[in-house]
Amino acid sequence: ETATSSRKRDHLQICCEQPIEAGDAGFGDVRLVHNALPECDMDAIETKTRFLGKALGSPLFIAAMTGGHLDTLEVNRRLARAAERYNLGMGVGSQRAALEKPELEGSFTVVREEAPHAFLCANLGIIQLRDHGIEWAERAIEMIDAQAIAIHVNSLQEAIQPEGDHNAEECIEALRNLCNEFSYPVIVKETGSGISAGTARIIRGAGASAIDIGGYGGTSWARVERLRASSPELAELGEAFLSWGIPTVVSLCEVRTAGGPIIATGGLRSGVDIAKAVALGADLGGMALPLLRPAMESDDALFRAVEAMHRELRMAMFLTGSRSVTDLRHTRTYITGLTRQMIETTD
């Protein structure tokens, strides 16, 4: 097996078996303003929404996780079944391994087989985009017949890994070229350190259709790499960066100033968190880890997890008097604590 594919398997194992979350995404500092007279019927509330022109069953987005190793095929199969069943958008994990080694494609193509109608996002690292150009982006889309491509940025993880790519030059240029020439929407996505207002403006300026925040406070790559570390020096490096990143809620408040569709990902752990993210300006709320663990277990466990998120989302909508996701977007919030302090920091 290739180094990329065995790293994927390591990650999945570590993510399922060990504590890999760090920090606080900020949702505890956000409160939706309660509506004591909601004047709506909870059972008639519509959770459906639209994203990049596609109708979706709810704002819950299955965030990019896996593929690229045979052991990951079953997980992707289950995630895809959930995407199809509830009409959820879904991202696959980085397709790099399968682009390098086409015999690994099966762990990705299974997603389209199981979810013939779902909104699927291909996934490629910005470094691979820079080094291989649009051809790889096209192959990634074709592999799963995707509706959009997520270009992930993960400087922290690249920097921690000794085998990572430590040169991030000329990535913006590569992104601009892709956005100019590609016929599919491009989503730029962080993977746990968040995106600032300034970076969001650069991303929008390059022509990207949407931003996935991938904020701090959920799955922590510093923590994953610390657990995977082969030497005390590497473990120390992971340790030193455990609290690095822009918390998801703070990042969301920054990114929304740049305009354009937003997926809020990173540390969303309930349907209430999805509701909070939407009220703060996100179009979708993405979850990785909370869906990975049930997806490792069974179809049923995963369906139950999705239904629990939807129940919580619906109740939060009811209690804010939101009949639709559009109503939810206009719901007031209170923001307190460290999150508020960070949002008010302008210099």
User: If 0-12 CB within 10 Å is exposed, 13-18 middle and 19+ buried, where does residue 296 land?
Assistant: middle
152 binds ligand FNR (CB under 6 A): yes
Among 22, 32, 63, 264, which residue interacts with ligand FNR (rule: CB under 6 A)?
A: 63
Among 4, 15, 110, 158, which residue interacts with ligand FNR (rule: CB under 6 A)?
A: 15
CB-based contact 63:255 (threshold 8 Å) = no
# residues contacting ligand FNR (CB under 6 A): 27
User: What kind and span of H or E run contains 311?
Assistant: helix 299-319
- Measured CA to CA in angstroms, residue 278 lies from 60, 64, 268 at distances of 10, 19, 12
Smallest separation (angstroms) from ligand FNR to the CB of 63:
4
User: If 0-12 CB within 10 Å is exposed, 13-18 middle and 19+ buried, where does residue 300 land?
Assistant: exposed
* 107-136 footprint of ligand FNR as x/- string (CB under 6 A): ----------------x-------------
In this complex, which beta carbon is closest to ligand FNR, that of residue 26 or of residue 192? 192
* 254-293 footprint of ligand FNR as x/- string (CB under 6 A): -----------xxxx------------------xxxx-x-
At 232, the amino acid letter reads: P
Other beta carbons within 10 Å of 1: 14
| Partners of 287 in beta bridges | 62
User: By beta-carbon distance, which residue lies closest to ligand FNR?
Assistant: 218
12 binds ligand FNR (CB under 6 A): yes
Name the residue among 257, 317, 244 with its Cα closest to residue 285: 317
Smallest separation (angstroms) from ligand FNR to the CB of 282:
13
Among 45, 62, 65, 129, which residue interacts with ligand FNR (rule: CB under 6 A)?
A: 65
- Measured CA to CA in angstroms, residue 109 lies from 146, 288, 330 at distances of 10, 19, 38
How far is the C-alpha of 108 from the C-alpha of 140, rounded, in Å? 10
Smallest separation (angstroms) from ligand FNR to the CB of 40:
29
* Binding to ligand FNR in span 176-235, by CB under 6 A: 189, 191-192, 214, 218-219
Name the residue among 327, 305, 273 with its Cα closest to residue 48: 327
User: What kind and span of H or E run contains 210?
Assistant: strand 210-212
Q: Give the interface segment with ligand FNR, choosing from 11-19, 31-39, 227-235, 293-301 (CB under 6 A).
A: 11-19
Smallest separation (angstroms) from ligand FNR to the CB of 159:
16
Q: Which residues bind ligand FNR (CB under 6 A)?
A: 11-12, 15, 63-66, 93-94, 123, 150, 152, 189, 191-192, 214, 218-219, 265-268, 287-290, 292
